[in-house]
Amino acid sequence: MARGSLALKLGVSFTSSSLLLLLLAYHSCSFYLPGVAPQDFSTGAELKVKVNKLTSTKTQLPYSYYSLPYCPPEHIVDSAENLGEVLRGDRIENSPYVFQMREPLQCKVLCRRTLNAKTAKEFKERIDDDYRVNMILDNLPLVVPIRRSDQENAVVYQHGFHVGLKGQYAGSEDLKHFIHNHLTFTVKYHKDSQLDLARIVGFEVKPFSVKHQYDGEWKNENMRLTTCDPHARRAVTSSDSPQVIEDKKDVIFTYDVAFEESDVKWASRWDTYLLMADDQIHWFSVVNSLMIVLFLSGMVAMIMLRTLYRDISKYNQLETQEEAQEETGWKLVHGDVFRPPTNSDLLCVYVGTGVQFFGMILVTMIFAALGFLSPSNRGGLMTAMLFLWVFMGLFAGYASARLYKMFKGTQWEKITLKTAFMFPSIVFAIFFVLNALIWGEKSSGAVPFGTMFALVFLWFGISVPLVFTGSYIGFKKPAIEDPVKTNKIPRQIPEQAWYMNPVFSILTGGILPFGAVFIELFFILTSIWLHQFYYIFGFLFIVFIILIVTCAEITIVLCYFQLCSEDYLWWWRSYLTSGSSALYLFLYAAFYFFTKLDITKPVSGVLYFGYMLIASYAFFVLTGTIGFYACFWFTRLIYSSVKID
């Protein structure tokens, strides 16, 4: 009876502890720590604009800024990049755009370019593929403000400006390509109330296509243009006379700079970039997930408080041998329930890898929710995840070795090698093939050889030794004792009802964990593949906690039904039940590809499905491990609560 009451208390604690974590996660959403220190600029101070990659949602293949014949500075210098930036395809370089703080410029000529057949074709291809130009000033990305027609005074910010546009001359049916060769920059600053210093809080642009004119022969960049002349107060305000892209055409690149004082403080300058117009949908996502959790919690409570309590009381009150022979249900399989499963080594490897993933994601989300991995720290999120994955190898080795020793394994070195190499080698092989495809397209998104070597070093030099260390520690500890003795000869499993068929129950169990996260998954895919910022880690942390509870509860429910039907092969089924949600994740990714993305190139499609395959595989390992440990805890709890003769 005392053990039965223990099961009741642990069952009830599921919901209460989850709600506490939800409240903590929600409050952490509003806490922000800036990624860099503020920089003060005096009047006339030099502001240097950096250029970043060209990006397209159609191809998903980034290219460096100077892959097109834009005006270069005297010397092109690459900015220092972290590991995450390189993996994202960022290529940050200096540019000829130089401003003076709070000193406006009008019609500043950068250079004149004469196009040939090759360069004209390159510009046209980038315009056809909807490429955008990305720039950075004081660590702020360049945005194009667009007013929303459905809301008054509402502005949406798009990252970067289009290389150009396609259109037709009046009275002509021929489609032409026009380049955005004039940029009107607006630098917003917040002025110090006491000192004559200011901080940059906004960087906006309006691109125009202008066929510039000038008198006489072209001499140098100090030529006065008739289409854009600050002395005659003639400014570019429209693209009525656009610059066409054709062979042997001259293109003159110009820009304006305006400075605008803003009430926005430096600490809040990212708020406009991270503004959520769809926060109600996120709350709907959380509420939807909570409804699933409450439904499952009700089922678990019913099992723990009523059915399971009744079973334990009945089993413990059986006094005669005749009564014991007539008993039915999950107690009948007590002699086989802890029998090592088929392919137990592989299960140990996947459980250890899942623990590694769980630790990485949990720590990453905590730091992200606290603001340490803000978008101002470009590449910080991916860098943190890589290093956390490497150092979590210690826990992977420990978890796999503990389970392996419980299965009476003796060759811990073998299981350690599999844990250290199986999952990373599969992911690395897929990644290597995808990187070769990107390299074949001459994209800046291809990981350089030096970075690839750094990844291999992190794997072999740090992760593998830590896996061995954790495995050695775990194997040297005393083995986990089973609460009941295992029979020498396995009993025969009775014929199962159709709804207890392994494939049916596994696929059914995976629906609910996926249903708890699929709305938030939409925003994650949108941020990745449509190049938008994702910084709602408070919501994401809540959904992650809900995912953990959902995986645990659905696995416990189905595991109980399986044991009641006298089927003791629960080890792999508990892993696959919640892990099958990865199948629905991949199917949803395919649905998202055909309904939301406009990818036409075969290589881009292969890249999308290749990366989503890696993500789904990782999701399988994560959710499968959560379900396994929940079922492992539940099974040991109930069998230690009854009297076994």
SS (H, E, C) 77-107: CECCCCHHHHHHCCCCEEEEEEEECCECEEE
Query: 226 and 215 in contact (C-beta within 8 Å)?
Result: yes
pLDDT of the residue at 1 = 37
pLDDT of the residue at 468 = 95
Residue type at position 376? S
Residues linked to residue 183 through DSSP beta bridges, in sequence order? 207, 255
Query: 536 and 273 in contact (C-beta within 8 Å)?
Result: no
Query: 614 and 427 in contact (C-beta within 8 Å)?
Result: yes
- What phi, psi does 110 have (nearest 5°)? -90, -55
The neighbour count for residue 408, using CB atoms within 10 Å, is: 9
Nearest to 286 by CA among 547, 642, 623, 78: 547
- What phi, psi does 197 have (nearest 5°)? -125, 155
pLDDT profile of the chain (645 residues), mean per 10: 37 39 39 60 92 93 93 88 84 91 91 92 94 93 81 76 88 86 94 85 93 84 82 78 90 93 87 63 70 78 73 67 56 88 95 97 90 78 92 96 92 94 95 94 89 92 96 91 85 77 86 86 88 77 89 90 89 95 96 92 94 96 97 91 72
Residue 297: strand, helix, or coil: helix
CA-CA-CA-CA torsion sign (303, 309, 314, 315): positive
Residue type at position 392? M
Residues linked to residue 565 through DSSP beta bridges, in sequence order? none
For residues 90 and 433, give the distance between their C-alpha atoms in angstroms, rounded to a whole number. 20
Write the DSSP assignment of 550-599 as a string of letters.
HHHHHHHHHHHHHHHTT----HHHHHHHHHTHHHHHHHHHHHHHHHH---
Q: How far is CA 93 from CA 133, 153, 155, 480, in A?
A: 13, 35, 29, 56
pLDDT of the residue at 282 = 61
CA-CA-CA-CA torsion sign (135, 137, 141, 143): negative
pLDDT of the residue at 374 = 74
Per DSSP bridges, beta strands 176-179 and 93-100 are unpaired
The angle formed by the CA atoms of residues 11, 15 and 19, to the nearest 5 degrees, is: 155
Nearest to 213 by CA among 226, 230, 202: 226
Residues linked to residue 208 through DSSP beta bridges, in sequence order? 182
Based on its alpha-carbon atoms, the radius of gyration of the chain, rounded to whole angstroms, reads 31
H-assigned helices in 129-277: none
- For 435-458, b/e burial (b = at least 16 CB within 10 A) is bebbeeeebbbbbeeeebebbeeb
pLDDT of the residue at 8 = 33
Question: What is the distance, to the nearest Å, from the Cα of residue 48 to the centroid of all Cα atoms in its chain?
Answer: 31
Q: Give the pair of three-digit tokens for residue 536.
A: 């709602």
Q: For the CA atoms of 134, 137, 142, 145, what is the dihedral angle to 10 degrees?
A: -170
pLDDT of the residue at 6 = 35
pTM of the model: 0.87
pLDDT of the residue at 169 = 78
Q: For the CA atoms of 385, 387, 390, 391, what is the dihedral angle to 10 degrees?
A: -110
For residues 133 and 205, give the distance between their C-alpha atoms in angstroms, rounded to a whole number. 11
For residues 91 and 114, give the distance between their C-alpha atoms in angstroms, rounded to a whole number. 25
Helices 571-579, 581-596: crossing angle, 10 deg rounding: 20
